[in-house]
Structure 1
Amino acid sequence: MLIEILKNMFSRDLNKLKTEIESYKNEAILWEVDTNISNSAGNLCLHLIGNLNAFVGAELGKSGYVRQRELEFSTKNVPREELIKKIAETLLVVISTLDNLTEEDLKKDFPLKVFENKTSTEFFLIHLITHLSYHLGQINYHRRLLEK
């Protein structure tokens, strides 16, 4: 049951991320920062894509994805259509990985120690949902603040 809930939530929020990126009237603003905002929407989008591909795709799905976290924040001016394509690809990776997990797998330790203490896979997947939602809110705020 939890796997279906996770699939629903990841689908909902990754589709909302796509909608947010598409909602920028001026594509160049995706990459702007303001004195009160340290990360652009484009970089937050790349960060979410990297985060989910690393922790869900590579760690749980054995996709072979190699994360380059520093590039998530230093890369600029990726075309909107490429971001949208990467979001769609990430959604497929997340869903296919979750489809291959069992409820028993969720109870096991997450393969990496990310926090101070080991966590269960279900705990870490819920953390990833909240992380996605947090940055999704930042992207929404970024768009509304900078697109006047």
Structure 2
Amino acid sequence: MLTDTLKTLFIRDLEKLKEELELYSNEGNIWIVDKAIPNSAGNLTLHLVGNLNTYIGAVLGNTGYIRNRPEEFSLKYIPRQELISKLESTISMIGTVLSNITEEQITAEYPQLINDQKVSTEYFLTHLATHLSYHLGQVNYHRRLLDN
């Protein structure tokens, strides 16, 4: 079933994001912004945690998560281990919620409008997986470019 594939991809990429954070030689470099790179790896991590906990956790899993999107980009210098802990909680949530999604739910309309449009849950989960992958690539590039 598609949810098994998506669960595997979400968990794989969130584990890779944890690895990227652990690879920074200097923990403070996680928060560097420079020139045309407007978002630090730390803020991209917070953004992904908020995004997935909102659209998968709260909407599909009824976790009660409440997002504060502005803080995803304004908070700074959260310790690396706290970021990793947030990722581990997100991985756990993804595993639980996607394991309980039925075939009927995944083919049904997603419970919220997305950009003022109705989309299927499978479409939106696929979008969320590619969104995660996009930002994971940015974090990898950020680390290699700015972690001297």
TM-score (norm 1): 0.98
Number of aligned pairs? 148
Distance 1:28 1:116 in 2: 39
**Where in structure 1 do 4 or more consecutive aligned residues deviate above 4 Å?**
none
Distance 1:103 1:34 in 2: 45
Q: CA deviation at 1:115?
A: 2.1
Q: CA deviation at 1:116?
A: 3.5
Letter in 1 for 2:88: A
Letter in 2 for 1:78: I
Secondary structure of the structure 2 residue equivalent to 1:67: coil
1:12 equivalenced with 2:12 (yes/no): yes
Distance 2:73 2:139 in 1: 14
The residue number in structure 2 matching 1:69 is 69
The residue number in structure 1 matching 2:40 is 40
Distance 1:115 1:5 in 2: 25
CA-atom RMSD in angstroms: 0.7
Q: How does 1:24-103 map to 2 (within 5 A)?
A: 24-103=24-103
Structure 2: 5+ residue stretches without partners: none
Letter in 2 for 1:61: G
TM-score (norm 2): 0.98
Percent identity over the alignment is: 55
Deviation track 1:7-54 (CA, whole Å, cap 9, x = no partner) reads 110111010010011110100000110012000000000000000000
